Amino acid sequence: MFASSKRLQSTGEITPFAGPPSRERLTVVQRGSSLELDHVSVVFRRAGEDVTAVRDVSLTVAPGEFVALLGPSGCGKSTLLNVLAGFRRPDMGAVRLNGKPHLGPTPLCGVIFQKYALFPWMTVLGNVAFGPRRLRIANPKAVARDMLDMVGLSSVANAWPSTLSGGMQQRVAIARALATRPSALMMDEPFGALDAQTRGLMQAELLKIWMQLRPTLVFVTHDIDEAIFLADRVVVMRTLPGAIGAEFEIALPRPRDPAVMETAQFLNYRRAIAGIIRSEALKVFCP
Amino acid sequence: MRRARRMLAPLIGGLGSAGLSVAGIAAFVAVWALASAALNPVLLPPPAAVVKAYGELIADGSLAKDVGASLMRVFGGFALAALVAPPLALLLGYFWTLRCIVLPLITLLRPIPPIAWIPLAILWFGLGDPPSYFITALAAFFPIFLSAFAGAQGLRPEHVNAARSLGARTDALLLFIMLPSALPLILTGLRIGLGQAWMAVVTAELIAAQSGLGFMIQASRLNLETSRVLVGMTLIGILGAGMTALLSLVERRLIVPWNYTK
């Protein structure tokens, strides 16, 4: 009882979404680009042995689409995201961004990490302005301020990241990734380290931002409800080795409200997906 | 009563720690005074004689000159090492080929103590200032380099990935990600390196110089002026501790504030 009331209090620090103060700069954000995995396999060498993390995955993400990669740990979903972000080249197959070979990390493809990965030696504003500065975008600080406004954090622009709560740090990370105007956004279990209440608020905020800017979004998670609530399409991964097991088009209307999680349609998706996930998780649990 | 004691505890603790420190030094001086009373003053002069020698050396201006000469050599050599070691460490941390070429060399040179370089330094640079600069730079280089290299190795891969996906190229990565990420350890290295340089300068001056605290100690020994030897020794201790304390203060307050905000 005491613990839950304390939790509720701690969510009070999340300020409600304020909306963009200056539309003209934000509309410069590029419309989503397409992403394509073409028969991709990734092999890790572990203790002298080759372990196939991902085998023969083909996936096409349409411009502006919101895709959730869902699966238990060990299914290679984070590996796939690293391939999509350009951090790792596939050992077989090809990755394409807007139809062209995708050969390395690029500001076209923003990334948000589970552990935020903010630079602790820069202030919040410095973190968000880092990308615009590298790309020589005019007035990087103003761009950064707009982005912080969008995630409702302009009041902590001059704070060190380590002084912020986890939810605030992740919102800074979202602002930082969006400040380079990426046409695609990769999110690797971004809300996994947050408490349940904060996670719910972050999901709602992410949907608002995505509706506004419409980047192509690939979202890795192991939370079934999160995947269904957010995505246009849920891609369920199989384990050992990682591969695509099933895909579900989520036909829930947008904009979505958390109340949608109570509907029969949502629960049907949930039941179907949970069955697959359970048997896949068992394969990893007792191989 | 108990509450009053609890409220006063931090105050007493702070006073107590300073008081105990002073008591420790006082006890040391007392033992020194007692021992010197029993011994020949050439073997161990009493504290009062050392204080008197301080007075004489300050009055004739020679102490200030010697301290100045030693400090010049320390800061000169230290500055050289501080300019070379951190960039080298970061480059080795980033470029695999360079690391393979240079790191074994450094591993082989590191165990050679600065004092072993003195003969070579005299042959190369003659007597006077230059060999002392060489020795202090050498002494400061290794701790700075090793600490900075550890800092470069501690770089988190997700920081590199994040920077790359935000458009950072190699130069920006080295300057804005690797350097600040390694900065806390670079500063630790600088603090240790300054201490090493300070110890090395005295060694170098004992042998290779015509001025400085080390030279003063050596000259006083030959004249059997042991109290002046002790002036040199105590001053080396005080100045060395002061430099380290000053650098750690700068480190906390100015250079890595993000580590000390809590």
Condensed to tens digits (0 to 9), the pLDDT of residues B159-173 reads 999 999 999 999 999
CB A33 within 8 A of CB A184: yes
What is the mean pLDDT of the segment spanning A36-64? 86
Phi-psi region of A112 (alpha: psi -120 to 50; beta: other; left: phi over 0): beta
Return the beta strands (E) in chain A as ranges. 35-46, 49-61, 66-70, 92-97, 100-101, 109-112, 184-188, 216-221, 233-238, 243-249
Residue B101 has pLDDT above 80, yes or no: yes
DSSP A190: T
- pLDDT number for residue A15: 33
Closest residue to B261, CB basis, from A130, A134, A160: A160
**HSE of B238, CA atoms in CB hemisphere, 13 A:** 9
CB B82 within 8 A of CB B193: yes
Confidence band for A7, pLDDT divided at 50, 70 and 90: very low
Chain A closest-CA separation from residue B106 CA (Å): 30
- pLDDT number for residue B2: 63
Residue A122 has pLDDT above 90, yes or no: yes
Confidence band for B191, pLDDT divided at 50, 70 and 90: very high
Task: Kindly list the distances between the CA atom of residue A123 and the CA atoms of A147, A172, A253, B256, in Å, as whole numbers in the listed order.
Answer: 14, 10, 39, 12
Find which of A103, A115, A121, A185 to mutate to test the B interface (most B CBs within 10 Å of its CB): A121
| Sheet of strand A233-238, all strands in order from the earlier edge strand to the far edge | A109-112, A184-188, A216-221, A66-70, A233-238, A243-249
Taking an 8 Å cut-off on Cβ atoms, the answer to whether A121 and B262 are in contact is no
pLDDT higher at B257 or A210: A210
Partners of A242 in beta bridges: A54
Residue of B nearest to A120 (CA): B258
- pLDDT number for residue A16: 35
Residue A19 has pLDDT above 70, yes or no: no
pTM (two decimals): 0.79
Chain B closest-CA separation from residue A121 CA (Å): 6
Confidence band for B30, pLDDT divided at 50, 70 and 90: very high
Residue of A nearest to B258 (CA): A121
Closest residue to A134, CB basis, from B166, B181, B258: B166
Find which of B158, B164, B166 to mutate to test the A interface (most A CBs within 10 Å of its CB): B166
What is the token pair recorded at A179?
A: 């400040």
- pLDDT number for residue B55: 93
Residue B261 has pLDDT above 70, yes or no: no
Give per-residue pLDDT as tens, A204-262. 889 988 988 889 999 999 999 999 999 999 999 887 788 888 888 998 888 888 888 89
pLDDT higher at A11 or A55: A55
Q: What is the average pLDDT value for chain A, to the nearest integer? A: 83
To which H or E segment does residue B121 belong?
helix B118-125
B163 in reach of chain A (CB within 8 A): yes
A89 CB-contact burial (10 Å; exposed 0-12 / middle 13-18 / buried 19+):
middle
What is the mean pLDDT of the segment spanning B166-194? 93
Give per-residue pLDDT as tens, B113-153. 998 998 899 899 887 788 899 999 999 999 999 999 999 99
Closest residue to B166, CB basis, from A107, A115, A120: A107
Closest residue to B166, CB basis, from A104, A163, A180: A180
Taking an 8 Å cut-off on Cβ atoms, the answer to whether A130 and B176 are in contact is yes
Confidence band for A27, pLDDT divided at 50, 70 and 90: very low
Task: Kindly list the distances between the CA atom of residue B117 and the CA atoms of B158, B204, B207, in Å, as whole numbers in the listed order.
Answer: 43, 10, 12
Residue B4 has pLDDT above 70, yes or no: no
Residue B256 has pLDDT above 60, yes or no: yes
Closest residue to A130, CB basis, from B166, B169, B259: B166
Confidence band for B7, pLDDT divided at 50, 70 and 90: low
Share of chain A above pLDDT 90, in %: 34
Confidence band for A17, pLDDT divided at 50, 70 and 90: very low
pLDDT higher at B234 or A32: B234
Share of chain B above pLDDT 90, in %: 68
Task: Kindly list the distances between the CA atom of residue A206 and the CA atoms of A17, A141, A215, in Å, as whole numbers in the listed order.
Answer: 10, 23, 11
Distance, CA of A2 to chain centre? 33
Taking an 8 Å cut-off on Cβ atoms, the answer to whether A113 and B257 are in contact is no
Residue of A nearest to B183 (CA): A121
What is the mean pLDDT of the segment spanning B73-99? 94
What is the mean pLDDT of the segment spanning B217-242? 92
B169 in reach of chain A (CB within 8 A): yes
- What values do phi and psi take at A20, rounded to 5? -75, 130
- pLDDT number for residue B126: 84
Spatial separation of the C-alpha atoms in residues A157 and B199, rounded to whole Å: 45
Taking an 8 Å cut-off on Cβ atoms, the answer to whether B161 and A87 are in contact is yes
Lowest mean pLDDT across A195-199, B46-50, B211-215 = A195-199
Find which of A114, A125, A134, A162 to mutate to test the B interface (most B CBs within 10 Å of its CB): A134
- pLDDT number for residue B133: 92
Phi-psi region of A212 (alpha: psi -120 to 50; beta: other; left: phi over 0): alpha
Give per-residue pLDDT as tens, A142-183. 999 998 988 889 999 999 999 999 889 999 999 999 998 898
Query: In chain A, which residues have their Cβ closer than 8 Å to the Cβ of B166?
Result: 107, 110, 130-131, 134, 176-177, 180
Residue A75 has pLDDT above 90, yes or no: no
Residue A145 CB: number of other CB atoms within 10 A?
Answer: 21
Partners of B88 in beta bridges: none
Q: What is the average pLDDT value for chain B, to the nearest integer? A: 89
Taking an 8 Å cut-off on Cβ atoms, the answer to whether A135 and B177 are in contact is no
DSSP A286: -
Taking an 8 Å cut-off on Cβ atoms, the answer to whether B165 and A109 are in contact is yes
- Domains of chain A by start residue, with CATH: 20-108+182-285 (3.40.50.300)
What is the mean pLDDT of the segment spanning B17-34? 91
Closest residue to A121, CB basis, from B167, B172, B181: B181
What is the mean pLDDT of the segment spanning A105-123? 91
B175 in reach of chain A (CB within 8 A): no
Residue A29 has pLDDT above 80, yes or no: no
